[in-house]
Amino acid sequence: MQLFKNEQAFLEYCRVNDLTGTCFLIHGYCFQWPLFTQGNFYSIEENFGSDKIFIEEGINKSGRVEVTVSDYIKRIQSGVKGMGNWSWQPHLSHAKSLNNSFTVPEAITLNNIEKSLVGELVLAPWILMSATETVTNMHQDMLSVNGIVGQLQGVKEFTLVAPQYALEEGKFYSTYELETLGIPFECVVLHPGDFLYFPAHWWHQAKTIECSVSFIHSTVNLYNMTAFLDDAISQMPALIQRVQSAAKKTGLFRLQN
């Protein structure tokens, strides 16, 4: 894991080093984003409170309930634990107001893919709001994308494991268990403003330490481009479904009367 104290240190390192195949953290990178001032519970409720999202209730439970963003935030702030959401993509449904609300270092993305229509739909970011003690179990991302997390509010802990180790998808591993199995891992705690990158196929899990708002995104670069294109072909039905779902959120498929 490469740690950078700020964006300038990251840029200086990138001038002579390729980081696309390495996990790294840039402290304070997200402070410059317009999204950082919009991505706290107060601003989200004020600007997007009527949006509908699906939430998962209870630690490791899969029951999905549809609520408004405002109702969900009130639950989190009232002390309800073990809740998370994976259905909210405001950069699709509120594209105009959130246009240019974040930046990704040029060294880790291919703009001709990310800025294409299909790229914008397939790689569209998520805003994940989670209550204390919420966990996301160990998994690898679909379509061989690289992962990005921008921490907007609260504190979140990520555990990362290299792709060559055989782990159980959907299980949450304790530090003790990974150590007992002899599996090397990286554990990093994200605070507001922190920016985390991990390459395609890396195993990852997360635990919310303090009520959290996280920006979750994916990239394609030279490190994973071949794997991404191979997966796009071999997983075409899933890819089409993802594009259709994203397009529906943007209103591209809205029927005209």
Residue 73 pLDDT: 95
Radius of gyration of the chain (CA): 18
DSSP single-letter state for residue 192: T
Residue 256 clears pLDDT 50, i.e. is over it: no
Provide the terminal-to-terminal Cα distance of the chain, rounded to the nearest Å.
54
d(CA 124, CA 86): 13
- Cβ atoms of residues 198 and 141 within 8 Å: no
pLDDT (mean) for 173-198:
98
Residue 63 pLDDT: 65
Quick check: pTM over 0.85?
A: yes
d(CA 146, CA 193): 19
2-250 CATH = 2.60.120.650
Band the pLDDT of 13: cuts 50, 70, 90: very high
CA angle in degrees (0–180, nearest 5) for 106-108-35: 65
Band the pLDDT of 59: cuts 50, 70, 90: very low
Kind and range of the H or E run holding 149: strand 146-161
Residue 257 pLDDT: 43
Residue 62 pLDDT: 58
Domain ranges for the chain, please list them: 2-250
pLDDT (mean) for 96-120:
89
Which residues neighbour 13 within 8 Å (Cβ) at sequence distance 6 or greater? 2, 4, 19
Residue 153 pLDDT: 98
**Residue 166 identity:** A
Q: What percent of the chain has pLDDT over 90?
A: 72
150: helix, coil or strand? strand
Q: The tokens of 212 are what?
A: 């959290």
- C-alpha 182: how far from chain center: 28
pLDDT (mean) for 15-34:
97
Name the nearest CA neighbour of 30 among 125, 127, 102, 99: 102
Q: What region, left, alpha or beta, does residue 156 occupy, with left being phi > 0 and alpha being psi -120 to 50 degrees?
A: beta
Q: What region, left, alpha or beta, does residue 189 occupy, with left being phi > 0 and alpha being psi -120 to 50 degrees?
A: beta
pLDDT tens-digit series, residues 70-102 = 999 999 989 888 778 878 999 999 988 998 999
Residue 104 clears pLDDT 50, i.e. is over it: yes
pLDDT tens-digit series, residues 149-180 = 999 999 999 999 999 999 999 999 999 999 99
Residue 254 pLDDT: 52
Residue 195 pLDDT: 99
Q: Tell me what the pLDDT averaged over the chain comes to.
A: 91
- Cβ atoms of residues 76 and 40 within 8 Å: no
Q: The tokens of 248 are what?
A: 């529906």
d(CA 242, CA 72): 25
d(CA 69, CA 46): 10
d(CA 203, CA 163): 6
Q: The tokens of 256 are what?
A: 């005209």
Q: The tokens of 181 are what?
A: 């199995």
pLDDT tens-digit series, residues 202-253 = 999 999 999 999 999 999 999 999 999 999 899 888 888 878 877 777 766 5
Instruction: Return the minimum-mean-pLDDT range out of 59-68, 130-139, 168-177.
Output: 59-68
Residue 57 pLDDT: 67
Q: The tokens of 25 are what?
A: 């953290």
